[in-house]
Amino acid sequence: MYEDIRSNKIKSGVIVSIFIIVITLIIYYICMAFDLGIFSIVFALVFSIITAYASYYNSDKIILKMSHAREATHEENQKLVNILDALVVSSGLSVTPKLYVVEDAQPNAFATGRDPEHSIICVTTGLLEKLDYYELEGVIGHELAHIANYDIRLSAIVTVMVGFVVMLSDIFTRTFLYGRGRSRNNDNGNANGILMLIGLVFLILAPIFGNLMKLAISRRREFLADATSAKYTRNPDGLISALEKISSDPNELETANKATASMYISSPFREKRQKKSSIWSTHPSLEERVDALRNLK
């Protein structure tokens, strides 16, 4: 587990660095395409650093806003609060994550934040209504495992940054023809031409590679979080039953989108819940996860 925590911290730093480089090249390319002059690379670098900083420190707020989540209260969600308090003791964490609730009929949950001290567990009202005590305990244990393993930092950073690159790519493709028309009248030299070409390649490929990276990270961390939850609760059957209920639920999670889908304990999109996971899957299949949990007994 400690090796996974260390690995997640290193990956987070690497991803932030890659993000700064990719965004710098993309912004530079866009600036040169619109003939904004020699200071384009400086502007691009400053813009990418500011964006990376804002994404790192505000990723949880961004994700909660996207999910339309509200803070849970002890009066309304006493069972949930009690389960979390007990599991925090089992996990050995020194802080208790904040609890948030999303008004949605689909049973699901996710965790976010940049570290355990700034962590959040968010559940849907459907999860609270449809799961019994031990099933809910298994789900909260799973999300608490993501926090203890520092999966939340890696997941939040990748979700926000990949989403930003996709958005930037979409904006650029809508204005590409206009920028290309203006840039034809200016010879920027071989060096600028090479940087612009690299920027264009990153602009096209970054969303694809970013999503593949996010999916691969998500699939692996789900297995680890399932196993860690079983360790906290000493009851893998509770999580197995919860996963089966969640996977068979007919409702769609209305507030979910492609950027946040990989964060949930189970895919919020029913059509994405496959019997066997593939390279495009955000989560391992139910069968694979249940088999892994049963092998822990």
Known catalytic residues are 143
* Count of C-beta atoms within a 10 Å radius of residue 87: 23
Q: Which residue type, as a one-letter code, is found at position 218?
A: S
Burial pattern 100-125, b for ≥16 Cβ within 10 A else e, equals bbbebbbbbbbbbbbebebbbbbbbe
Tokens of 74: 């002890």
Distances (CA, A) of 14 to 5, 9, 28, 150: 14, 9, 21, 15
Closest by alpha carbon to 149, among 266, 8, 249, 260?
Answer: 8
Enter the DSSP assignment of 114.
S
Dihedral over Cα of 125, 129, 133, 136: its sign: negative
Collect all residues with Cβ–Cβ distance below 8 Å to 207 and sequence separation of at least 6.
162, 165, 166, 169
Give Cα separations from 125 to 85, 106, 131, 267, 273 (angstroms).
Answer: 19, 8, 10, 16, 21
